[in-house]
């Protein structure tokens, strides 16, 4: 099948509003957690999150158009614009029928739903809904908006698989290019769920940290004192392109996508299979698809959300798949810095995977003060600070409520080093 490479990236995250800014803070181990500013969270069990900071959507979108979009689309456009600029297409010379968009979000226009329903309930019962209520909230609308923005007539749809959504989107784009159905895609994910219903809902599930006095230390994957995940928001976009197409137009290749694996736990709505069955199946499938052996993987960006059960189950699954090679790899959870971006997590972590390949550096797992005693022996979880090393292959793991598992594998491209 045809080879697929990455020629553009964009990021809007809690620790940086461009890839360059994000990269600097990522490798420096900066936390994006802080008290919530988007609504009054004073009565909530969790009063902090990893919010995007200093973002002005008017820098990317005309004011008149802003009203037609939820922040989940604002974030997507900012990231996609950066990725498209880096990819450097001459759109007059580009076959737009072969250029598609596959975008992801776990929640879609969550803030708009909350705003509109709240206004209705607090009113006199007369339905005064915004005419853009439905277009702002349906999950697929962002992929449509991106296609309109760039005039792309190729394959266009949205993937929804909870926290595995944007890895699923990337995999679909990867496969459609491999199969010859397209030459280029903008793919990625965005999430804007830091609102009363988002925080309140996850609080009700007892899934989020309540370390309100120390927000920057709250996301602590693998630490014995972890107490739940920290919600994040933002977006990341990647331009995927067929290798020969990229070479022909003189594009800079950032990395290559070489494999993808998916599976289902078929076990529980919100809990991972206790023996890591689904993650193991997906990791093995990804290695097989990439045509590589376990010992060829140098770094794994884990799902690692900082929840009591999920963290350890994932590490034990890695031990079972990688065997004696597991302790020789670097492993880290970058959610320790940016929180959990839900449906956008896989896209942001795909950008992180490429940055690790480019910088030959594994980003850290911050806040890992006292490793959980159940962690498999000898694992290098890259505690506190980055570690420079040879990195040629990176695996990125994402798992979603409903038992969805999506694993992507990236390889260093010599020309991008």
pLDDT in tens, 360-394: 999 999 999 999 999 999 999 999 999 999 999 99
Select from 254, 249, 252, 251 the least CA-distant residue to 93: 249
Q: Are residues 234 and 271 in the same domain?
A: no
Do residues 278 and 166 share a domain?
A: no
340 is catalytic: yes
Look at residues 201, 217, 248 and tell me which one is the last residue of a structural domain: 248
Catalytic residue among 245, 273, 340, 404: 340
Q: Are the C-beta atoms of 290 and 409 separated by less than 8 Å?
A: yes
pLDDT at 1: 86
Over residues 5-62, the pLDDT tens digits come to 999 999 999 999 999 999 999 999 999 999 999 999 999 999 999 999 999 999 999 9
* 151's tokens: 């005039």
What is the C-alpha separation between 380 and 319, in angstroms, rounded? 12
DSSP H/E element including 101: strand 99-104
Let me know if residue 194 belongs to a domain. Answer: yes
The helix-helix angle for 110-122 and 71-87 (nearest 10°) equals 160
Q: Is residue 138 within 8 Å of 145, Cβ to Cβ? A: no
261 and 330 together in one domain: yes
Q: Within this chain, do residues 74 and 187 fall inside the same structural domain, yes or no?
A: yes
Q: Residue 258: enclosing H or E segment and its boundaries?
A: strand 255-264
Helix axes 196-204, 110-122, angle to 10 degrees: 100
Output the domain CATH number for residue 28: 3.40.47.10
In terms of domains, do 240 and 354 share one?
no
Per the annotation, the verdict on 195 as an active-site residue is: no
| H-helix segments, 67-132 | 71-87, 110-122
Domain co-membership, 209 together with 68: yes
Question: What is the C-alpha R_g of the chain?
Answer: 20
Residue 89 lies in a domain: yes
Alpha-carbon distance of 387 to 123, in angstroms, equals 56
Q: How far apart are CA 393 and CA 408, in angstroms?
A: 11
Q: Determine the pLDDT at residue 269.
A: 86
How does pLDDT run across 286-340, given as a tens digit for each residue?
Answer: 999 999 999 999 999 999 999 999 999 999 999 999 999 999 999 999 999 999 9
Query: Is the pLDDT confidence value at 414 over 90?
Result: no
- In DSSP notation, 273-321 reads PTT-HHHHHHHHHHHHHHT--GGG--EEE----S-TTHHHHHHHHHHHH
The answer as to whether 20 is a domain residue is yes
Q: Tell me: the pLDDT tens digits for 153-162?
A: 999 999 999 9
Of 201, 216, 248, the domain-final residue: 248
Q: Which range of residues forms the domain containing residue 386?
A: 257-412
Domain assignment of residue 328, yes or no: yes
Q: What is the pLDDT of residues 69-128, one digit of tens each?
A: 999 999 999 999 999 999 999 999 999 999 999 999 999 999 999 999 999 999 988 999
CA distance linking residue 367 with residue 271, whole number of Å: 24
- DSSP secondary structure code for residue 327 in this structure: G
The pTM is what?
A: 0.97
pLDDT for residue 382: 98
Residue 417 domain-assigned (yes or no): no
Q: Do residues 72 and 109 make contact, with C-beta atoms less than 8 angstroms apart?
A: yes
In the annotation, is 303 catalytic? yes
* Residue 76 resides in a domain: yes
Task: Decide if 268 is inside a domain.
Answer: yes
Catalytic residue among 163, 195, 245, 404: 163
What is the number of structural domains in the chain?
2
CB atoms within 10 A of CB 131: 9
| Cα–Cα distance for residue pair 112/89, rounded to 1 Å | 33
173 and 225 part of one domain = yes
Q: What is the pLDDT of residue 302?
A: 98
Residue 8: phi and psi, rounded to 5, are: -160, 145
CA distance readout (Å), 1 to 156, 248, 321: 22, 18, 26
The pLDDT value given to residue 301: 98
Q: What is the pLDDT of residues 125-158, one digit of tens each?
A: 899 999 999 999 999 999 999 999 999 999 999 9
One domain, residues 306 and 241: no
Residue 416 has pLDDT above 60, yes or no: no
267, 395: one domain = yes
* φ/ψ of residue 310, rounded to 5: -60, -40
Residues 10, 83: Cα–Cα separation, whole Å: 4
> 10 Å Cβ neighbour count for 214?
12
pLDDT tens string 173-188 = 999 999 999 999 999 9
pLDDT of 415 reads: 63
**CA atoms within 13 A of residue 203's CA, in its CB half-sphere:** 18
Distances (CA, A) of 184 to 152, 243, 315, 392: 10, 10, 34, 24
Average pLDDT of every residue of the chain: 96
Task: Judge if 351 and 306 occupy the same domain.
Answer: yes
Give 3-state DSSP helix, strand, coil % of the chain, rounded to 5: 40, 20, 40
**Looking at the structure, do residues 184 and 65 belong to the same domain, yes or no?**
yes
* Residue 101 · residue 73 · CB < 8 Å: no
Of the residues 223, 248, 273, which one is the last residue of a structural domain?
248
Instruction: Kindly state whether residues 209 and 269 are assigned to the same domain.
Output: no
- Which of 245, 273, 303, 404 is the catalytic position? 303
């Amino acid at each position: 099948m045809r080879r697929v490479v990455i020629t553009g990236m964009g990021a809007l995250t809690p620790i940086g509003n461009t890839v360059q800014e994000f990269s600097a803070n990522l490798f420096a181990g900066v936390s994006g957690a802080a008290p919530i500013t988007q609504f009054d969270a004073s009565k909530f069990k969790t009063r902090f999150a990893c919010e995007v900071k200093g973002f002005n959507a008017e820098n990317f979108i005309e004011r008149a158009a802003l009203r037609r979009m939820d922040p989940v689309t604002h974030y997507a456009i900012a990231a996609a614009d950066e990725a498209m600029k880096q990819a450097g297409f001459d759109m007059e010379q580009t076959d737009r029928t072969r250029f598609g968009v596959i975008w992801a979000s776990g929640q879609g226009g969550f803030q708009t739903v909350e705003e509109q329903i709240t206004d209705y309930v607090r009113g006199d019962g007369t339905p005064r809904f915004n005419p853009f209520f439905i277009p702002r909230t349906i999950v697929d609308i962002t992929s449509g908006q991106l296609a309109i923005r760039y005039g792309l007539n190729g394959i266009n749809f949205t993937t929804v698989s909870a926290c595995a959504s944007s890895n699923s989107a990337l995999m679909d784009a990867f496969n459609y290019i491999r199969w010859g159905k397209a030459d280029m895609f903008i793919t990625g994910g965005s999430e804007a769920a830091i609102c009363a219903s988002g925080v309140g809902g996850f609080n009700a599930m007892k899934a989020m940290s309540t370390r309100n006095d120390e927000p920057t230390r709250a996301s602590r994957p693998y630490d014995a004192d972890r107490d739940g995940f920290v919600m994040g928001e933002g977006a990341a976009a990647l331009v995927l392109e067929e290798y020969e197409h990229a070479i022909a137009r003189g594009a800079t290749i950032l990395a290559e996508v070489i494999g993808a694996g998916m599976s289902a736990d078929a076990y529980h709505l919100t809990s991972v299979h206790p023996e890591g069955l689904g993650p193991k199946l997906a990791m093995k499938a990804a290695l097989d698809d990439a045509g590589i052996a376990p010992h060829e993987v140098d770094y794994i960006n884990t799902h690692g959300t900082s929840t009591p059960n999920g963290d350890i189950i994932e590490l034990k699954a890695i031990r079972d798949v990688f065997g004696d090679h597991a302790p020789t790899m670097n492993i880290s959870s970058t959610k320790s810095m940016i929180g959990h971006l839900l449906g956008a997590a896989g896209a942001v972590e795909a950008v992180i995977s490429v940055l690790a390949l480019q910088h030959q550096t594994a980003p850290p797992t911050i806040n890992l003060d006292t490793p959980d005693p159940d962690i498999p022996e000898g694992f290098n979880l890259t505690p506190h600070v980055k570690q420079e090393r040879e990195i040629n292959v990176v695996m990125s793991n994402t798992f979603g409520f409903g038992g969805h598992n999506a694993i992507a594998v990236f390889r260093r491209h010599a020309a991008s080093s």
